[in-house]
């Protein structure tokens, strides 16, 4: 009976996770390409890299959930005189949880095209092929013999039972994501943007059994701004990210403040900018995420701490997760511009 209950739990967890699969990051404003392929290489830099590490449920019993993410973005001009450009990149997220090492990995190669609509506005459209991989380790669980009313069945410590009952211990499926984004910049250098993405467009089939269950298509909406103020050393950056995965929804919204300690030169880019960013986001009916990051030269690093405000706080003592990131932004050569 214990074996069968464990199998049912594995099936429930795996099917629930795959059906609403979505990377839930408190640093979404640093890695928008993870959620909308149209955002790849749409910033002021020519290429960038970002890596993040997250641990969830550190204060709860059992194995914490670990997440690693990696994003790379490259801008390619559409001709020497064109203001349009291609964007190409790669995104990877790997998550693992539980004593059976239940693991999910999503790898995508986003490609987009950005068109200069006017002096102040741009429009981007993109698509991304990729793979979603899932697996668990069937050798990790151990069993006691079960009493069936007549005698004991099974072998003590037998790890084969679950693997023979489930048809496989790993699975892979092809994945397709698409997205669009619009950007507008005012004469005062305030920026506004909004995007819509349809992820898992082909509804990949993911499960450890036959015939399997398909992942819900995900709709993601990203909105935000980077606002100038009367103080030249202060910018305000409100952000919103909303998901809909089948019957499930998620919403994160908040604001970051940027204190510019030293501006980069508009003409030679010899003086690199230095700034401190801080702020908070509210994830609907879940947590408040406190964010802090620091930028010097072309490098930015920071962290986010999630404080649980739902009923789960009784179990995790209010600490939802800790997330760290490191990001680098670069130009192909010397330009009369600056990187923020």
Average pLDDT over residues 262-278: 64
CATH number at residue 266: 2.40.160.40
Q: What is the pLDDT of residue 58?
A: 82
> DSSP string covering 184-250, please?
EE-TTS-EEEEEEEEESTT--B--SSSS--BPPPEEEEEEEEEEE-SSTTEEEEEEEEEEEETTEEE
- Number of residues in the chain: 340
Q: Is the pLDDT of residue 5 over 80?
A: no
What pLDDT is attached to residue 334? Answer: 61
Q: Give the tens place of pLDDT for each residue, 171-186.
A: 889 999 999 999 999 9
pTM: 0.82
* Domain-located, residue 130: yes
List, for residues 233-257, the tens digit of each pLDDT value. 899 999 999 999 888 899 999 999 9
* 294 lies in some domain: yes
Q: Is residue 336 part of a domain?
A: no
pLDDT, tens digit, for every residue of 96-107?
987 778 889 999
- pLDDT(325) > 90: yes
290 in a domain, yes or no?
Answer: yes
Q: Calculate the average pLDDT of the chain.
A: 83
Phi, psi angles (nearest 5°) of residue 300: -130, 140
5-8: Cβ within 8 A, 24+ apart: 6/141, 6/162, 7/162, 7/165, 7/166
pLDDT for 317 equals 86
Which structural domain range is residue 196 located in? 26-134+170-330
Q: Is residue 143 part of a domain?
A: no
Query: 65-69, 99-103, 151-155, 210-214: lowest mean pLDDT where?
Result: 151-155
Phi, psi of 86 (to 5 degrees): -90, 155
Q: Is the pLDDT of residue 69 over 80?
A: yes
**Does any domain span residue 10?**
no
- Give pLDDT, residue 8: 39
Structure tokens at 217: 């298509």
pLDDT digit string, tens, across residues 301-314:
999 999 999 888 88
Q: Which of 43, 48, 102 is nearest to 70 (CA)?
A: 48
For residue 145, tell me if it sits in a domain: no
Indicate if the pLDDT at residue 9 is higher than 70: no
Residue 340: the pLDDT is 55
Q: Which residues contact 48 (CB under 8 A, 6 or more apart)?
A: 41, 71, 72, 73, 327, 328, 329, 330
* Domain count of the fold of the chain: 1
Residue 270 has pLDDT above 90, yes or no: no
Domain contains 182: yes
């Amino acid at each position: 009976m214990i074996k069968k209950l464990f199998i049912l739990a594995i099936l429930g967890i795996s099917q629930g996770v795959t059906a609403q699969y979505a990377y839930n990051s408190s640093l979404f404003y640093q890695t928008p390409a993870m959620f909308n392929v149209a955002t790849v290489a749409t910033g002021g830099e020519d290429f960038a890299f970002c890596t993040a590490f997250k641990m969830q449920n550190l204060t709860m019993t059992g194995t914490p959930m670990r997440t690693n993410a990696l994003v790379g973005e490259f801008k390619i001009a559409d001709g020497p005189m064109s203001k349009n450009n291609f964007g190409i990149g790669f995104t990877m997220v790997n998550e693992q949880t539980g004593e059976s090492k239940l693991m999910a990995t999503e790898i995508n190669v986003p490609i987009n095209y950005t068109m200069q609509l006017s002096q102040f506005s741009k429009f981007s459209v993109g698509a991304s092929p990729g793979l979603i991989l899932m697996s668990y380790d069937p050798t990790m669980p151990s069993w006691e013999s079960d009493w069936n009313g007549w005698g004991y069945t099974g072998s003590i410590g037998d790890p084969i039972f679950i693997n023979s009952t489930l048809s496989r211990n790993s699975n892979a499926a092809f994945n397709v994501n698409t997205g669009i984004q619009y950007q507008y910049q005012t004469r005062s250098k305030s920026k506004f943007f909004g995007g819509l993405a349809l992820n898992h467009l082909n509804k990949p089939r993911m499960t450890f059994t036959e015939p399997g269950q398909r992942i819900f298509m995900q709709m993601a909406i990203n909105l935000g701004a980077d606002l100038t103020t009367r103080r030249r050393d202060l910018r305000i950056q409100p952000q919103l990210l909303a998901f809909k995965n089948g019957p499930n929804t998620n919403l994160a919204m908040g604001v970051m403040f940027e204190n510019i300690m030293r501006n980069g030169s508009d003409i030679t880019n010899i003086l690199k900018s230095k700034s401190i960013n801080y702020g908070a986001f509210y994830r609907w009916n879940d947590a408040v995420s406190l964010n802090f990051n620091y930028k010097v030269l072309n490098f930015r690093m920071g962290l986010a701490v999630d404080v649980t405000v739902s009923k789960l706080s009784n179990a995790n003592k209010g600490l939802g997760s800790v997330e760290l990131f490191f990001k680098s932004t670069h130009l192909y050569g010397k330009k009369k511009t600056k990187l923020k």
